[in-house]
Structure 1
Amino acid sequence: MSQGRRGFGRIRKCQPSGRYQASYVGPDEKLHRAATTFAAKVDAEGWLHERRREIDRELWSPPATGEQKKAKRKADVKFGDYADKWVETRTVKGKPLRPRTQAHYRSLLKQHILPTFENKAVARITRESVDRWYSKTAAGTPTLRAHAYSLLRTILESARTRDKLIDVNPCAIEGAGSSDRVVKPKPATYDQLDTLVNEMPAQLQLMVLLAAWCAMRFGELVELRRKDIDLEEAIVRIERAAVRVDGGWKVGDPKSEAGKRDVAIPPHILPAVEHHLAKHTLAEKNALLFPARSGEHMQPSTLYRHFYKARTVANRPDLRWHDLRHSGAVLAAQTGATLAELMARLGHSTHQAAMRYQHAAQGRDKLIAAKMSKMVTDTPE
């Protein structure tokens, strides 16, 4: 490396690259080098000229150290960019987020979080700004509001613990990540289930039966294929689920690790299963049981259009599609199924949800007591 002396600073020609390196001694009496080398000597001279002008005008400040540059980069990280990468790279127990979860997170971000925080630096999100956001967000839908707050808190906790972008998580509202259940679903009765089935188009009647009597989720049903039905063993194998993502469908694992399960088909609906396979399902092993006319996954709107009409006839305008799964869970609990058995049948990885169905089944105690009294009162003298 050759060097040349000048009135202010130094310029060295690097060998063998032939590029030029510029350096100077600043007012702090320390040697400072340009962050990059220059292809032409005149460019190196121009850089030194700018530094000299800064010193003469008392505008000069020491170049940022590596640590300072790193700190600045962290301080400049926008929440929108960080959240997008967080969803993309988030893992739970070493596995990426399931398509359904990822889609849910992106929806919460788009609808409720990014409008406020997208362009704000993570380091500048304060407790006050979170409190203001929370007071206005999804105020009429407490469950959705709790989900949005919980997601924001979790993302910022990663920013604190993993990436060291902040020292304190600004999400500090006690109890904001949980909510009381606003809608307590009322199970459908046997007669109402029969009405729902009969009022649905023939190709969708089995979908109602499996949703209720096998307690299956919508995403599990639309991905159900001929190969998943074992008539000999009378079971349905739930190994996948489909979820709508960005206008299309993505197939992945069921909602939870326990979601992969074999569910016994109640004997009284087996004839309907056999009929559906014979009349409404293609012969291929991979044929969907409930396809759209195109042969692809059925859109939720297609199902709801028919289901809403059927529930009106059944005099249950309050009944949501997911309530059919709830009805099936309560029916299973009424047989005396244990907590572990309910969890296995429903595909729950935690006991809290299954316990709700056991509690709902306990409501039959009054009916049992009434029937006991009826036995006494109806006894002939």
Structure 2
Amino acid sequence: MAAGKRDFGNIRKLSSGRYQARYTGPDGGEYKAPSTFRLKGDAEAWLVDRRREIDRELWSPPASSAQIRQTKANQTTFREYAESWLKFRTVKGRPLAAKTVFDYEDILRLHIYPTFGEQKLRDIDMDTVDRWYADLCPDAPTMRARTYSLLKTILKTAHERDRLIAENPCLIAGAGAAQRTKKIRVATIPEIEIIMGEMPAELMAMILFGTWCTLRYSECIELRRKDVDIDDAVVYVRRHAVRGRGGWNCGLTKTDAGIRDVEIPPHILPALRVHLDFIEDDPETRWFPPATDDPCGTERWLQPSTFYRHYYRARNKAERPDLAFHDLRHTGATMAAHTGATIAELMARLGHSTPQAAMHYQHVAQGRGRQIADAMSKLAGA
């Protein structure tokens, strides 16, 4: 690094090739320019301006970065910060999925903004959060946990990354996690067959993809003809479509792990071939096009109301009114675990980025207490 001596201030060239300027103020303190300069002349001009301020007695110590952050925290409301957080939030370099943004906006609007929206960040303390949490969604434990977790995450960013608050006031242990209140009962093979038999012919494949390929509803309705290779028995999951307040949003799957190739079980291939008779012979044709001509923005997808009108009737015929479409995915995951699939294999098939859910399916598949006990008795008898 090279340094240049001057009557006032100092300029040095950094290893990056840019120039840093600094000077000693009337109070004896050393002050640096808030940023470096591409040209040495720009650094010199900045020092000339500081010297003029001192000569005219207009100079005052510049605010430190800590003071600037404190001023920002004193002025910024939680609503302002949360809206900015939601706009620029990323997960592993990718922006939040559209459905996640819609969900977070609803949670903020309904449960967080009424209490914290107009409060300054600096004024949100532990006692305020504790009192708010005490009355939060008492009859909806899952929503209560999600709401607390969202508030905690936003304030964590304000504390750890932006350093706008001295500490995160969300300190209630376990408040961001909810125990599953609904125990999912997976479907049996006969129940799946009944449901398929009751669905319109052009929608039967939705049941197959949801169960045997563990696809989500949002992934099924965005499948194009080019995404399913019948000959090689693979479905290529690349995109999904979700509907929010602003209409439909189509894009990449929620996470990188959601982009995956799912091997199709051979026994459902004949039914998938039959389904091709219902759609146009075009690579971009959707497997499940909309049932009406009503446009949804510039693109159209199968309306959930259209599908569920048939699905609810079909599941009632199977005497499974509790079986949500997403439960078919649980069913397929559990059957895959029964085959001996490893956690990594389940994660790849389901499109999960963490092993927790895959471990759950393995545990379900391994929950064969009666068979194990009987086998132990046979050993004892032998």
Structure 1-normalised TM-score? 0.77
Gaps of 5+ in 1: 1-29, 34-62, 375-381
Q: How well do the aligned residues superpose, as a CA RMSD in angstroms? A: 2.5
**Secondary structure in 2 aligned to 1:180?**
coil
Residues 287, 175 of structure 1: alpha-carbon distance in 2 compared, 3 angstrom cutoff: same
Q: What is the distance in 2 between the residues matched to 1:163 and 1:286?
A: 44
TM-fit CA distance, 1:326 = 0.1
Aligned-partner residue type, residue 156 of structure 2: E
**What SS does the aligned partner of 1:168 have?**
coil
Aligned counterparts of 2:312 and 2:370: Cα–Cα separation in 1: 32
The alignment partner of 1:359 has SS state of: helix
Matched, 1:314 2:304: no
Query: Per-residue deviation at 1:358?
Result: 1.0
1:170 equivalent in structure 2: 169
What does residue 146 of structure 2 align with?
Answer: 147
Structure 2 portions without partners, runs of 5+: 1-55
Quote the residue 1:244 is aligned against: 243
98-107 or 256-265: bigger deviation: 98-107
- Per-residue CA deviation, residues 199-237 of structure 1 (Å, 9 max, x unaligned), is 112221110111001111111111111110101101100
Residues 204-223 of structure 1: matches in 2 within 5 Å?
Answer: 204-223=203-222
Task: Kindly tell me the number of residue pairs found equivalent between the two proteins.
Answer: 315
- Cα distance, 1:72 vs structure 2: 3.7
Q: Which residue of 2 aligns with 1:78?
A: 77
Following superposition, the deviation at residue 64 of structure 1 comes to 12
Most deviating of 335-344 and 319-328:
335-344
Q: Select 1:299's aligned residue among 299, 303, 306.
A: 303
List per-residue Cα deviations over 1:122-152 (Å, max 9, x = no partner). 1111212211221222222212211111110
Distance (Å, rounded) in 1 between the aligned partners of 2:153 and 2:376: 52
Cα deviations by residue, 1:294-314 (Å, 9 ceiling, x for unpaired): 371122222222211111111
Picking from 281, 284, 301, the partner of 2:282 is 284
SS in 1 for 2:163: coil
- Deviation of 1:365 after TM superposition, in Å, equals 5.7
Residues 1:272 and 2:271 aligned together: yes
User: What aligned pairs does 1:1-381 form with structure 2 within 5 A after superposition?
Assistant: 66=63, 71-279=70-278, 281-292=279-290, 293-294=292-293, 296-364=300-368, 366=370
Displacement after TM superposition at 1:321 (Å): 1.3
How far off its partner does 1:153 sit?
Answer: 0.5
Change (3 A) 1:165 1:283: same
The secondary structure found in structure 1 opposite 2:175 is: coil
CA deviations 1:56-84 (Å, max 9, x no partner) are xxxxxxx9985667644431211111111
Length-normalised TM-score, structure 2: 0.76
Please say if residues 69 and 164 of structure 2, whose CA atoms lie closer than 8 Å, have aligned partners that are also in contact: no
Cα deviation for residue 370 of structure 1 reads 6.3
Helix, strand or coil at the partner of 1:297: coil
**Which residue in the other structure is 1:50 paired with?**
none
Query: What CA deviation, in whole Å up to 9, does each residue of 1:26-56 have, x standing for no partner?
Result: xxxx9779xxxxxxxxxxxxxxxxxxxxxxx
